[in-house]
Structure 1
Amino acid sequence: MGADFGYRGERLGLPKDGPGSLASVGRRIAALFVDWVLSVLIAYGLIAHRNLHQANNWALVVFAVVSVIGLGLVGSTPGKLIMRIRVVQVDGNRLSPLGALLRTLLLVLVVPAVVFDRDTRGLHDRAVKSVQVRI
């Protein structure tokens, strides 16, 4: 009964397990949490001069800058590196700097990140034809 869609990432040509397979939702959320905590700490210590309310406002800006730089240069943010995740294009190539910028802008809007397909790729990943894989 019901359709068999295969494993997550099969229709993208990714392996089922191991390096190159789709990163789990748990790993991706943990990486996002690590990146957010680092952004709040940076904003609190360097920008907001120990004013917690201002730090929370600046944390999103810091998060976006770290994401664009990290994804554009090495394909990962600090949180993604800790969780052993890398963002690549579906064809396996590096994400372009413009792709990293667009992906980050859509990510900070939140809604595109929480609407996803059966491969658990958010709209922000689909828009730039990227995928988060295990390394």
Structure 2
Amino acid sequence: MPHSPQPQRFGDLEPSEWPGERLGLPAEGPRSVGRIGRRTLAILLDWGIAGVIAALVAGGDPHPFLPLGIFALMQIVFIPTIGGSLGHRVFGLRVVPISGGWVGIWRPLVRTLLLVLVIPVLVWDSDQRGFHDKIAGTVLIRW
């Protein structure tokens, strides 16, 4: 009787040699997974821009959630139109769907909703994809 393979269990995967290996992405250079340094700088720039816009709109004393709303709006508008937020683009990053093609509208909406919750961003896999990217089916790559 032939031996049937056991179903794969969580944790059975061999570790990746580099982030993005399982996704078919190169170890470094263009189309490689965007690393933590660039990602951190990009989000700090996006938060800074959102804070400045909020202060200008509110006359210097914005409601505490106004910068968050502006940040979310920037993500939702810029990911499908220019491939990433302003911070992403400045630091050579782009949000792309794993399946290829255009990122569409729903992916940025889902990704941004999870991004503003913060905790999903702090949980990532060996491909350095945050939970928000995994759920949205996206990956942040160098461009």
Superposition TM-score, scaled by structure 1 size: 0.91
Match of 1:9 among 20, 27, 48: 20
Q: 1:28 aligned to 2:36?
A: no
Between structure 1 and structure 2, the one with the greater Rg is 2
In structure 2, the CA distance between the partners of 1:115 and 1:4, relative to structure 1 (3 Å rule), is closer
Instruction: Report the alpha carbon displacement of residue 100 of structure 1 after superposing the two structures with TM.
Output: 0.6
User: How far apart are the structure 1 equivalents of 2:101 and 2:34?
Assistant: 17
Partner of 1:95: 103
User: How far apart are the structure 2 equivalents of 1:132 and 1:58?
Assistant: 26
Instruction: Report the alpha carbon displacement of residue 55 of structure 1 after superposing the two structures with TM.
Output: 4.8
The one-character-per-residue Cα deviations of 1:36-68 (angstroms, maximum 9, x if unpaired) are 00000000002x1111xx254310000000100
Partner of 1:108: 116
Instruction: Report the alpha carbon displacement of residue 94 of structure 1 after superposing the two structures with TM.
Output: 2.3
Letter matched to residue 33 of structure 1: L
Q: Which has the higher helix share?
A: 1
Letter matched to residue 133 of structure 1: I
Letter matched to residue 32 of structure 1: I
Matched positions, count: 130
Is the contact between residue 16 and residue 127 of structure 2 (CA under 8 Å) also seen in structure 1?
no
Q: Which runs of 5+ in 2 are unaligned?
A: 1-13
Superposed structure 1 runs of 4+ greater than 4 Å apart:
none
Aligned residues: CA RMSD = 1.2
The one-character-per-residue Cα deviations of 1:78-107 (angstroms, maximum 9, x if unpaired) are 101100100001133221111111100010
Q: Which runs of 5+ in 1 are unaligned?
A: none
Partner of 2:84: 76
Is the contact between residue 40 and residue 56 of structure 1 (CA under 8 Å) also seen in structure 2?
no
